[in-house]
Amino acid sequence: MTPLNREMKIFSGSAHRDLALRICQWVHAPLGDAVVSSFPDGETRVKINENIRGRDVYIVQPTCPPTNQNLMELFILIDAARRASAYRITAVIPYFGYARQDRKDQPRVPITAKLVANLLVAAGANRVLTLDLHAQQIQGFFDIPVDHLYAAPVLIRYIRQKKLDNLVVVSPDVGGLKLASAYAEALGATLAIVAKRRKSPTETEALTVIGDVDGKNVIMVDDLTETAGTLTSAATLLKKYGAKDIYAGVSHAVFTDIAHERLKKSEIQELITTDSTPVRLHPECRITVLSIAEVLGEGIHRIYTNESVSSLFEINATQS
């Protein structure tokens, strides 16, 4: 039983208010009244305009670009809730920025994902709910509970509706093999991998395809695309290897201008993504945005009612 007065309160920063509203619709709760603005000098100003003493507070804020601005908003919202005596504060971070800086891959570089985890705890977060971390081990950077959900059930449901025959799931790099394997199992498809070489932070070169894609429909899956370099170069190579129609499915689309330019010219017929971040659309790019409000809303509901969230961790959780 949830103790008396510990009602759910959902608040949103300015990063993705639309997603917060969709989550509120799913859990049948109003969006909390909070002002998030800036002082003339650029400092973030936050004021929570309702009583949250003893309440179970959820703050929805993906840390997408402008990443540092959105992070500071999240820290300040958490601090405001803590100082207003909230019973529990859950940071709902659909897209976790800095996740790619999760290890020392060169001398004298930081592990910024760990720093962000420390700052969230220091600000006063009691729990984190997130979606498709770039590296799952980031969960271990936190000394508080982390519920890590997947967008795959939402994407898989949509892909099934397309009824693509002779389907191959392709990982556009070796690092995404585990994710691609889970998609292939759920879709009853075969598996292939594109071996690539990174030439610069914005440019990759696809080298070869491991697996049979000749005359088959292809769905490339990845957790994140920013410049679309990996996906578009892989698609070009897949066409050379005889692939038929090429689709791409990514959990987080943090598009830059160069991404749209590449997608316009690419062999990718449709890019399927989620609203974990606000997606910049382009009239000449076929981009389908699916909502993960249901997944996050169900996660919030189960945390609030002290039910198990573990069944939501399964990629194959949504079969219909």
**Residues with active-site annotation:** 196
The span from the CA of 63 to the CA of 90, in Å, is 15
Residue 295 tokens read as 């997944």
β-pairing, 203-210 vs 190-200, is antiparallel
The span from the CA of 231 to the CA of 194, in Å, is 10
The percent of the chain in helix, strand and coil, each rounded to the nearest 5, is 35, 30, 40
The span from the CA of 247 to the CA of 216, in Å, is 12
The span from the CA of 63 to the CA of 98, in Å, is 8
What region does 228 belong to: left with phi over 0, alpha with psi -120 to 50, or beta? left
**Total residue count of the chain as it appears in this document:** 320
The span from the CA of 237 to the CA of 4, in Å, is 60
What region does 190 belong to: left with phi over 0, alpha with psi -120 to 50, or beta? beta
DSSP 237-288: HHHHTT--SEEEEEEEE---HHHHHHHHHSSEEEEEEETTS-----TTS-EE
What is the residue type of 103? R
Is 94:223 a contact under the CB 8 Å cutoff? no
